[in-house]
Amino acid sequence: MAKVDVEKRGEVAVLRLSNSPVNALAHGVREGLQRGVAAAVADPSVKAIVVTGEGRAFSAGADITEFRAGPKPPALGEVIASLEASPKPVVAALNGLALGGGLEVALGCHYRVAAKSVTQLGLPEVKIGILPGAGGTQRLPRIIGLEAALDMIVSGNPITASAAAKSGLVDKIAEGDVVEAAVAFAQELVASGKGARRASEKTIDPATVPAGLFDKKRAALGRHPSGPLAPKNCIAAVEASTDRPFAEGLKRERELFSELAGSPYARALQYAFFAERQAANIPDIGPDVKPREIKSVGILGAGTMGTGIGLAFLNAGIPVTIVETQQAALDKGAQRIRETIESNVRRGRITADEGEARLARLTASLATEDLGTADLIIEAVFENLALKKEIFAKLDAVAKTGAVLATNTSTLDVDAIAAATSRPGDVVGMHFFSPANIMRLLEIVRGAATAKDTLMTAMAVAKRIGKVGVVSGVCFGFIGNRMLEAYLEEVQAMLLEGAAPSDIDGAVEGWGLAMGPNAMMDLAGLDVGHRIRQEHAISEERRRLYRATDAIVGMGRHGQKTGAGYYTYGGDRKRQPDPDIEALIRKEAAAQGIVQRRIAPEEIVERCLLRLVNEGAQILDEGIALRASDIDTIYLNGYGFPAWRGGPMWQAENVTGLREAADKIRAYEKTYGPRWSLAPLLGRLAESSGTFTGAKT
Ligand code: T1G
Ligand code: NAD
C-alpha cells in the first residue's frame, strides 16, 4: 500500500515514503507526505523534519501508471510547496534512487544528505517524453547552476552522490545509516539556529546567464533519443528560471509539461518503458521456477560475435573461457577484447584496476574440453547448421551436468541444434546483436524442448549483463530477423522502382530510425545476407528482387568491410552515394521491365513500416512472439527503431490505426502481389476494431 510512515527521533519527525518497489509517488504517498508535514509543523515538540524512503529507493518519481487516468489531488507540486514552506528545517535522507518527482521532493527539502554508494540523483522525465513538472526545472538551476541543470534535465541521466556533493546538490555524504546522519544533521541545524533554506527564494541574476546559452543548447540537440519535442521544452523550461519570478517560472513549467504530456511521443516512450518490463514476464512460468546459478561462461568462436559476447560477460564481472580452432583466430579475438578494455580505461569509463580485473577473468583456449566446468556455454561459430550440430554433439560430451548450452545463431533451427544432444532441455537460443557488448537486445529463443529453468536462466543472465531479454519461438530468423527480411525485401523492390539507396535511407532516418536499411546492410556485410539467401529456400520473387544486390556482392562489394557496398566509404567511414551502383540498379530494373519513378519519402517509410507490421502480426498469430509489445521492444533495442515512435506494432495501432493499416496493405497487395498478402490477424483486428494487446492468438 502506498503510504508515508512517521516516527519521532527526539525532536525530529522522520517521514518515510513507502510504496514498494521504488516508492513511486502515488496518491497515497502524496497525501501521506502532505499530512505528515502538516502534523510535524503543527507539533511543538518537533523541531525539524527528515524525509526518507523505504527500501532501495528514496523515490523513483511520479507513478507513471497514474498518467493515463490523471493524478488525483493533491498534486505533487502542491505537496512539495508545503514541504518547502515549513518553518522548521526539512532534510532529505537520500537512501537510494532519487529520480524525477522523487528528486523534486528532495529539492523542495531545505537540505539533502545522501548515502554514498547507493544514491542516484536524476530527472529522467525527458526519457518518457515529458519534463520535470513539479518544480525541478526551476529549483535545480537555482541550486547547481544553469549549465549543470540543463545537462541533467536534457539528458535525463542520473549522477552519483559524490558528483552531487561536488555540484552543491547534496550537503552531506553519509558513510553509514543515512537516516541517522540526516537526523544528526537536522539536530545540528536546530542547535545552530539555522532554519529553512528554500531554493524558491534564490534568484538567478540574468546578467550571469552566458550569452546564447539556451540557443546553443537547442542547436546542439541533434537526434535526441526522446525525439524532437521533449528536449526543446526542457530547455525552454530551464530558460524560464532566468527571466521571471519563481512562481511565474513554475507556471511556464506547467504549460510546457502539458504540451508534452499528451503527445504521441510521450505516450510512445511510456509504452516502451512498460513494454521492456513486461517482456520479462513469461506467462507459463511462475516464480517457483528458479534460474540456475551462473558463475562462469564458456564461448565457442572468437569472431565478431564471440568477442563482443565475451566482453559483455567480462564487463559484468563474470569469468569467461573463449575457445577457437586456430591460434591465429584465438590471438586476434583475445587482442580485440584486450584493445576494447584498454580503450575503455583510456577514455576513463573504467579504472585501470577494473580493466586489469576484467582481463584477468579471461581465459583463451584451443581446447573445447576447457569448457567442462562452465555453467553456461554460448556457441558463436559460423552460421552453418551442420557445423553447429557437430559442435553441440561435442558439447554434450564435454559440458558438465546442468550446464546451459546456448547458440547465438541468427537464423537457424534451434530445435535441430538441440536434437544433436542428449539434453535438449538444456539448450536455448541466446541471439545477441552486433556489437554484442553494446547492443541492449538479447533475443532468447525457446526451443520445443527447452526447460523452463533453462529459459529463466537465460532471462536472468540477460538482466545481469545489462541486456533486455525477449523470448521468441523457433522459426527462420526468429522475431527480429524474420521481420527484417520482409522490410529489406521491400527495400529491394523500391530500389528497382527508382529510389536510390540514399533516398530510402534518408527517408527512413528522417523519420527517426538510427540507420537506414542500405547503410545497415553495408555495416552487417552484404555477403552475410547473400550467404543466407544461398543456403535457404527463398521465393522466386525474393530472388528476383535481390538480383541487383547479388550483382553488387558479385563485384566483391560487401559493404563497409570492403570499403564499398551500396555506398563507397572513405577513410572516415562516411558513406558516399555511388552513381555506378545506381546505374547498375537502373540496368537491372530495365532488364526486368520495371519503369522507374520517384518514390516520395512518405511512401518509402509507409512501405517499410507496413511490411514490418504485417510480418509482426503473422509472428504474433503463430505464437512466435508472446505479445506485440515484445516485438516493439526487439525493434527498439536491436534495430535502431526510435523509442519515441513506440515501435512498428505500436505505430500501426496508435498512429496509423489497424483498419487503415489493413486497407493500405490490401491496396499494396493489389499493386505488388502476394508479398503483400495481409496477415489474417491484422485482417481480423481491423474488422473487429480489436487491438494487438486484446488479441487472442
Ligand atoms: N512509476 C510507476 N512504476 C514504476 C516507476 C514509476 N515512476 N518506476 C519503476 N516502476 C516499476 C516498474 O514498472 C517495475 O514494475 C518496478 O517498478 C521495478 O522497476 C512530476 C511526472 C527506478 C531506475 O522516469 O527508470 O516524476 O515490472 O524493473 O531495473 O516530474 O524503474 O516489477 O511490475 O525498472 O531496478 C520519473 C522510471 C517519473 C523513473 C529502477 N521517473 N523508473 O530500475 O527496476 S515522471 C522515472 C526507472 C515524474 C515529475 C514527473 C527504473 C528504476 P514491475 P524496474 P530497475
Ligand atoms: P565470424 O566469422 O566473425 O566468427 C566465427 C568464428 O568461429 C571464427 O573466428 C571461426 O574461427 C570460429 N569457429 C569456427 N568453427 C569453430 C569451432 N569448431 N570451434 C571454435 N571456433 C570456431 O562470425 P560472427 O559474425 O561472429 O557470427 C557467429 C555466429 O553469430 C553466427 O551464427 C552468426 O549468424 C551469428 N550472429 C552474427 C551477427 C553479426 O552481426 N555478425 C549477429 C548475431 C548473430
pLDDT tens digits for 444-473?
A: 999 999 999 999 999 999 999 999 999 999
pLDDT value, residue 69: 83
pLDDT value, residue 36: 98
The ligand whose atoms approach the alpha carbon of 329 most closely is 2
Catalytic residues: 104, 125
CA torsion, ordered 137, 141, 147, 152, to nearest 10 deg: -50
Q: Are 50 and 186 in contact (CB under 8 A)?
A: yes
The ligand whose atoms approach the alpha carbon of 394 most closely is 2
Among 25, 27, 64, the mutation site with the greatest number of ligand 1 atoms within 8 A of its Cβ is 64
Instruction: Return d(Cα 543, Cα 550) in angstroms, integer.
Output: 9
pLDDT value, residue 576: 96
380 CA to centre of ligand 2 in angstroms: 5
Instruction: Return d(Cα 178, Cα 338) in angstroms, integer.
Output: 40
- On the question of pLDDT at 507 being above 80, the answer is yes
Sign for the pseudo-dihedral over CA of 598, 600, 605, 609: negative
Which atom of ligand 2 is nearest to 381's Cα? 7
For ligand 2, is residue 325 a contact (CB within 6 Å)? Answer: yes
Angle of helix 246-261 relative to helix 136-144, nearest 10 degrees?
Answer: 130
Residues 253-271 have a mean pLDDT of 96
22 CA to centre of ligand 1 in angstroms: 7
pLDDT tens digits for 35-86?
A: 999 999 999 999 999 999 999 999 999 999 998 788 789 999 999 999 999 9
pLDDT tens digits for 175-212?
A: 999 999 999 999 999 999 999 999 999 999 999 999 99
For ligand 2, is residue 625 a contact (CB within 6 Å)? Answer: no
Sequential DSSP letters for 417-471: HHTTSS-GGGEEEEEE-SSTTT--EEEEE--TT--HHHHHHHHHHHHHTT-EEEE
Sign for the pseudo-dihedral over CA of 653, 654, 656, 658: positive
- On the question of pLDDT at 570 being above 80, the answer is yes
- On the question of pLDDT at 378 being above 90, the answer is yes
pLDDT tens digits for 135-144?
A: 999 999 999 9
Give ∠ CA 153-57-453 in degrees, rounded to 5. 110
- pLDDT confidence tier of residue 571, bands split at 50, 70 and 90: confident
Q: Are 437 and 315 in contact (CB under 8 A)?
A: yes
The ligand whose atoms approach the alpha carbon of 380 most closely is 2
- Residue 180 makes CB contacts below 8 A (sequence gap 6+) with 174
For ligand 2, is residue 334 a contact (CB within 6 Å)? Answer: no
Which atom of ligand 1 is nearest to 61's Cα? 26
- The protein residue whose alpha carbon is closest to atom 8 in ligand 1 is 60
Name the residue type at position 151. Answer: D
Which atom of ligand 1 is nearest to 132's Cα? 30
- pLDDT confidence tier of residue 695, bands split at 50, 70 and 90: low
**What's 88's DSSP letter?**
S
For ligand 2, is residue 624 a contact (CB within 6 Å)? Answer: no
Residue 697: how many other CB atoms lie within 10 Å: 14
Among 382, 430, 442, the mutation site with the greatest number of ligand 2 atoms within 8 A of its Cβ is 382
Average pLDDT, the chain: 96
- On the question of pLDDT at 694 being above 80, the answer is no
For ligand 1, is residue 128 a contact (CB within 6 Å)? Answer: yes
- On the question of pLDDT at 535 being above 90, the answer is no
pLDDT tens digits for 335-366?
A: 999 999 999 999 999 999 999 999 999 999 99
Three-class SS state of 112: strand
Alpha-carbon separation of residue 220 from 158, 224, 236, 680 (angstroms): 20, 10, 14, 45
pLDDT tens digits for 596-621?
A: 999 999 999 999 999 999 999 999 99
Residue in this structure with the C-alpha cell 487491438, named with its chain if needed: 691
pLDDT value, residue 305: 96
pLDDT tens digits for 99-148?
A: 999 999 999 999 999 999 899 999 999 999 999 999 999 999 999 999 99
pLDDT value, residue 532: 85
Instruction: Return d(Cα 662, Cα 673) in angstroms, integer.
Output: 15
Residue 327: how many other CB atoms lie within 10 Å: 10
For ligand 1, is residue 108 a contact (CB within 6 Å)? Answer: no
Alpha helices, H only, 14-66: 27-42
pLDDT value, residue 70: 80
Sign for the pseudo-dihedral over CA of 272, 265, 436, 505: positive
All three cell numbers of 243, joined, read 527571466
Bridge partners of 39, per DSSP, are none
All three cell numbers of 356, joined, read 586489469
Q: Which of 202-206, 307-311, 382-386, 571-575 has the highest mean pLDDT?
A: 307-311
Which atom of ligand 2 is nearest to 332's Cα? 9
Q: Are 42 and 33 in contact (CB under 8 A)?
A: no
The ligand whose atoms approach the alpha carbon of 103 most closely is 1
- On the question of pLDDT at 635 being above 60, the answer is yes
Q: Say what percent of the chain tops pLDDT 90.
A: 95
- On the question of pLDDT at 697 being above 60, the answer is no
pLDDT value, residue 109: 98
